[in-house]
């Protein structure tokens, strides 16, 4: 429906309010990306795009990126703009809900991590830690559209 998507990530199947997340992100995307002066770097897409990842590793990467955004990104993105903060809260709580669903798959061994996903996640962490925390968090939030496109 316009509201929800079923993500089929190998054996793992989770429901996600993609429309709500996208609507929240689209309404603050320009504001967030305007706060990111470093256009030459990418957290998610350097050196390789997420789209190069094998389907079998999608669940692992989705699960770990959910945790990455929940634990490392959203909390460092608070702004002086109340509207932006509300939308970040909306996205963050949706990611928390999604991560819980993915955690069930992980516990049922339906979300295994292979070498490729481990290396990709390591690279994302290196990219993230290459910047100061706030810049890295704002850049990562600005790239959320890349992740949503890939997840969908």
Partner 1 sequence: DALLPPPQNISILSTNMKHFLTWSPVIVQGEAVRYSVEFQGEYEREYANESWIPICECSLIAATECNITEDISATVAYKLRVRAEAGAARSEWGTLKGFFNRITTSLTPPLMKVIADGYHLLVELEEMGPAFQFWVLYWKKGQESRMQQKVVKEVSHMIHLDTMEEGLGYCVKAQTYVEAINRSSGFSQTQCVRAQGGTSMWLV
By the criterion CB under 8 A, which residues form the site for partner 1?
1-4, 15, 17, 19-20, 24, 70-71, 74-75, 78, 82-83, 85-86, 89-90, 92-97
SS3 of 126-143: HHHHCCCHHHHHHHHHHC
CB of 2 to partner 1, least distance (A): 4
Which CB sits closer to partner 1, 69 or 127?
Answer: 69
Inter-residue contact 98 to 63 (CB < 8 Å): no
Query: Closer to partner 1 at the Cβ: 58 or 99?
Result: 99
Q: Minimum CB separation from partner 1 for residue 47, in Å?
A: 29
- Alpha-carbon span 5 to 101, nearest angstrom: 13
CA distance 129 to 27: 27
Judged by beta carbon, residue 4 or residue 26, the one nearer partner 1 is 4
Q: Report the alpha-carbon distance of residue 107 to residue 140 in Å, rounded.
A: 27
Q: How near is the Cβ of 67 to partner 1 at its closest, in Å?
A: 11
* Residue 104 CB contacts under 8 Å (≥ 6 apart), including other chains: none
- Could you tell me the smallest distance in angstroms from the CB atom of residue 42 to partner 1? 24
Q: Quick one: 62 or 90, whose CB is closer to partner 1? A: 90
């Amino acid at each position: 429906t316009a509201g929800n998507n079923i993500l089929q990530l190998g054996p793992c199947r989770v429901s996600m309010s993609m429309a709500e997340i996208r609507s929240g992100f689209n309404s603050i995307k320009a504001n967030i990306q305007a706060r990111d002066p470093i256009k030459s770097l990418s957290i998610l897409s350097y050196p390789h795009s997420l789209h190069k990842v094998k389907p079998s590793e999608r669940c692992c990467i989705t699960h770990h990126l959910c945790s990455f955004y929940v634990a490392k990104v959203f909390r460092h993105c608070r702004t002086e703009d109340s509207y932006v903060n509300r939308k970040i809260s909306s996205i963050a709580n949706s990611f928390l809900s999604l991560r819980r669903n993915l955690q069930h798959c992980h516990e049922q061994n339906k979300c295994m991590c292979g070498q490729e996903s481990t290396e990709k996640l390591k690279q994302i962490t290196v990219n993230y830690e290459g910047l100061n925390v706030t810049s890295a968090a704002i850049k990562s939030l600005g790239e959320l559209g890349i992740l949503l496109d890939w997840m969908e």
